[in-house]
Structure 1
Amino acid sequence: MANRDPDDTLAFYRHNAAAYAARERQPPTARLAAFIGRLPPGAAVLDLGCGGGHDSLVLLEQGFDVTACDGSAELAAEAQTRIGRTVEVVRFQEIDWHDRFDGIWAEASLLHVPRAELGDVLARVLRALKPGGFLQASFKAGDKEGHDRFGRYFNYPSEPWLRACFEQAGWSEFAISKADGGGYDGEPTRWLHVAANRAD
């Protein structure tokens, strides 16, 4: 498994986009509500790695100016059908927005960024926020990168490693919490949830 390419992740979503997007999935109510509670009315929000668009739909229903994007063209098409507006196809390494968003929602998405590239991607995410803007992101905890039984790549960070990665990318204000849960693979999962702010 260790020799598989991170691009196997995009191959999985390419071949399984319809089933993945159509699955029974409830948005993470408490975290999403906390995220929404920090946003001003009509805020510009990026749903980064939006998957099937479930969370984008909630954000749109709350009246926010939502930009939804995903690295998989096939998943983006599924999300576009769900939310009724254009979903951009953008890989994490291509993020090039500057001072654009009040909030960035990255639910179970940045966990697919190769470890060697995560620092650069986190710096890009930081630049995409307006001063005072904030990021909510989640990662599957672990101690080394690898793949799940579907062939999807995960960076599986430990809390200290992830903290160092955020610091090296230029983030000075962030907190990491832990929670047990599950995922698409049905396996018990320890999650690392990051709430990070771009300094004013």
Structure 2
Amino acid sequence: MAVDDDPTDLFYASNSAAYAAHSREPNHTRLERFVARLRENARVMELGCGNGRDSAWMIGRGLDVIPTDGTREMAEEAARRLGVDVPVLRFADIEAVGTFDGIWANACLLHVPRPELAGILVRIHRALRPGGIFYASYKAGNGDGRDGLGRYYNYPSAEELEATYATLPWASLEISGETGSGYDRQSTEWLHVWGMAK
């Protein structure tokens, strides 16, 4: 299936303005924890930045942020908000090596097909400097599927995520759960992953 034919990509492309307008305030608690673990003026890449909400918050705290999104229309929404170029970057195209002090991937890797997640994590880990901080969040479950809006989710369990992440050299790794919601306003069990690269 071509990228442009994928129902998840089509959803974000077709609903980019509405999705960008819907995005609420960022989760300050998680962002503050992320920033607190980084050096001053740290270089950060955000994956799946959406409307740029979280990147804007981090830029406002003095970080050197590279916001990216895998959908051109969402990247354009973020560029309008941030006033900077926002590259269109698919996870499989991450080529950076030892470049970033932190990588922020809030609610985006949950769209990666299960068989591809381990390989994407290798690319992300490779892009971090030693001691680099990584954050990602997933909708928990016991098997992949689509939501009521047609978007694909990998719906991992905490045990599955731990096994997948454990194949990489982390100095520390933490996975925690939380009940919340998302764009579809459905009650959702979230999994939050924090890692520090060796």
Shorter-chain-normalised TM-score: which range? over 0.9
C-alpha displacement at 1:24, in angstroms? 4.4
Q: Give the 3 Å change call, closer, same or farther, for CA 52–118 of structure 1 in structure 2.
A: same
CA deviation map 1:97-143 (0-9, x unaligned): 11011011110011111000000000000001001101011000000
User: How far apart are the structure 1 equivalents of 2:168 and 2:116?
Assistant: 11
Q: Give the 3 Å change call, closer, same or farther, for CA 15–168 of structure 1 in structure 2.
A: same
Q: Give the 3 Å change call, closer, same or farther, for CA 96–189 of structure 1 in structure 2.
A: same
Instruction: Establish whether residue 154 from structure 1 lines up as the match of residue 187 from structure 2.
Output: no
Q: Give the 3 Å change call, closer, same or farther, for CA 172–64 of structure 1 in structure 2.
A: closer
User: How far apart are the structure 2 equivalents of 1:30 and 1:129?
Assistant: 22
Gaps of 5+ in 2: none
C-alpha displacement at 1:172, in angstroms? 5.6
Determine helix, strand or coil for the equivalent of 2:173. Answer: strand
Gaps of 5+ in 1: none
5 Å-filtered alignment, 1:11-160, equals: 11-160=10-159
**Letter of the 2:140 counterpart:** A
Aligned-pair Cα RMSD in Å: 1.4
**Letter of the 1:160 counterpart:** E
User: How far apart are the structure 1 equivalents of 2:5 and 2:27?
Assistant: 26
C-alpha displacement at 1:29, in angstroms? 1.2
Identical residues among aligned pairs (%) = 48
User: How far apart are the structure 2 equivalents of 1:130 and 1:17?
Assistant: 32
C-alpha displacement at 1:167, in angstroms? 1.6
User: How far apart are the structure 2 equivalents of 1:170 and 1:73?
Assistant: 33
State whether residues 6 and 153 of structure 1, in contact with CA within 8 Å, keep that contact through their aligned partners in structure 2: no
Higher mean displacement: 80-89 or 171-180: 171-180
C-alpha displacement at 1:171, in angstroms? 4.0
User: How far apart are the structure 1 equivalents of 2:115 and 2:88?
Assistant: 22
User: How far apart are the structure 1 equivalents of 2:135 and 2:89?
Assistant: 18
TM-score (norm 1): 0.94
User: How far apart are the structure 2 equivalents of 1:100 and 1:6?
Assistant: 32
Aligned residues: 195
C-alpha displacement at 1:6, in angstroms? 8.9
**Letter of the 1:143 counterpart:** N
User: How far apart are the structure 1 equivalents of 2:5 and 2:132?
Assistant: 30
CA deviation map 1:40-71 (0-9, x unaligned): 11100011110110001001111111001000
**Letter of the 1:88 counterpart:** P
